[in-house]
Amino acid sequence: MPEEGLADAFGVTEEARAKINLALHVTGQRADGYHLLDMLVTFADCGDRLGFLPAQADVFTLSGRFGETLAGDGGTNLVLRARDLLREVVGGLAFPVHIHLEKNLPIASGIGGGSADAAATLRGLMRLWGMSLPVEALASLALKLGADVPMCLESRPLIARGIGEQIEALRDLPAFAMVLANPLKGVSTPEVFRRLKAKDNPALSLAPNLHGRGAWLAAIAAARNDLEPPARDAVPEIAATAAMLLAQGALLARMSGSGATCFGIFADTAAAQQAAAALHEARPDWYFQATETISGGM
């Protein structure tokens, strides 16, 4: 990840990597309304950065391309909720802290920015406060903050089921050269779920012992994101975003999460960087980021 910006001046720093749903199948719905999902997830070598320092009183500062957008949320963001939740558990050890968030990822964009920030806050504050929690306790704390926060604690390739809390590491998933593309239209996740027509779609089924990029690419191509049709209804630019990635030579283009970010998988890093530059030229007001995803073997 690029070493830049304010967060690096802080004693404890954490990366909040962008989360990418290579596939997302909606397989059912729980009695409480939450949907059952099968997700194939990887993480990008780009994201937000957070810094943590002891302070006289709690302070929260923001920088980065999307920092200003978040500043207007009246303090309801997931970083502060994660800090407050962990503090309830820690009690007296939890001295005041200055948290800085370098917000490089677009807000409400389907690549887990808020969830990754919350997970990074839990990790960073545990380091700063010199504490640890048993894995299960930490995972259930994370789940209280959002369905995607437990997987962002892992930040490595995985399959998640349930509402996102049943996690299985995926050591064989290779790295991919990618471009993330977003028309900078925020998408409301509850609204996309509301527009979803079929809630009992076929489960994600991957052949055992998939090896190599070609085999994985074919498996991903055969899977789906069931939230893409309802998200395209809500935000027509999503269709154009995926089409632009394909026109730039992406081997596969799909929406991540509940959108609007789409990812394109490219043959190699040079092709991804070239495509990102061309897309930026065509739509300077949109978000395009060339990145490499991390491999399961890391």
Hey, which residues are catalytic here? 19, 148
Strand, helix or coil at 114? Answer: helix
Closer CB to ligand C5P, 84 or 268, in the complex:
84
Q: What is the Cα–Cα distance from 259 to 188, expressed in whole angstroms?
A: 9
Identify the residue among 163, 251, 272, 276 touching ligand C5P (CB under 6 A).
163
Least distance to ligand C5P, CB of residue 257, Å = 9
67 a known binding residue?
no
Closer CB to ligand C5P, 72 or 190, in the complex:
190
Which string of b and e fits 145-161 if b means at least 16 CB within 10 Å?
A: bbbbbbbbbbbbbbbbb
265 a known binding residue?
no
Q: What is the Cα–Cα distance from 77 to 140, expressed in whole angstroms?
A: 19
Q: Given the structure tokens 């061309």, which residue do they identify?
A: 278
**Neighbouring residues of 196: CB distance < 8 A, sequence distance ≥ 6:** 26, 35, 226, 227, 230
- Which alpha helices (H) appear in the chain, and where do they start and end? 67-71, 78-90, 113-128, 135-145, 149-154, 189-195, 212-222, 228-234, 237-247, 269-282
Q: What is the Cα–Cα distance from 90 to 87, expressed in whole angstroms?
A: 5
Closer CB to ligand C5P, 51 or 230, in the complex:
230
230 a known binding residue?
no
Closer CB to ligand C5P, 51 or 110, in the complex:
110
Strand, helix or coil at 186? Answer: coil
Q: Is 148 in the site for ligand C5P (CB under 6 A)?
A: yes
Question: In this structure, are residues 109 and 263 in contact, taking their beta carbons and an 8 Å threshold?
Answer: no
Identify the residue among 18, 70, 105, 147 touching ligand C5P (CB under 6 A).
147
Closer CB to ligand C5P, 258 or 293, in the complex:
258
Q: Which residues pair with 177 in a beta bridge?
A: 266, 292
Task: Give how many residues touch ligand C5P by CB under 6 A.
Answer: 11
113 a known binding residue?
yes
108 a known binding residue?
yes
Name residues contacting ligand C5P, limited to 87-116 (CB under 6 A). Answer: none
Identify the residue among 1, 5, 6, 34 touching ligand C5P (CB under 6 A).
34
130 a known binding residue?
no
Identify the residue among 61, 63, 166, 189 touching ligand C5P (CB under 6 A).
189
For residue 256, the number of C-alpha atoms closer than 13 Å in the C-beta half-sphere is 28
Segment near ligand C5P (CB under 6 A); pick from 7-15, 16-24, 189-197, 217-225: 189-197
Segment near ligand C5P (CB under 6 A); pick from 44-52, 187-195, 209-217, 219-227: 187-195
Binding-site residues for ATP sit at 106-116
Q: Using CB under 6 A, list all residues that contact ligand C5P.
A: 34-35, 37, 146-148, 163-164, 189-190, 193
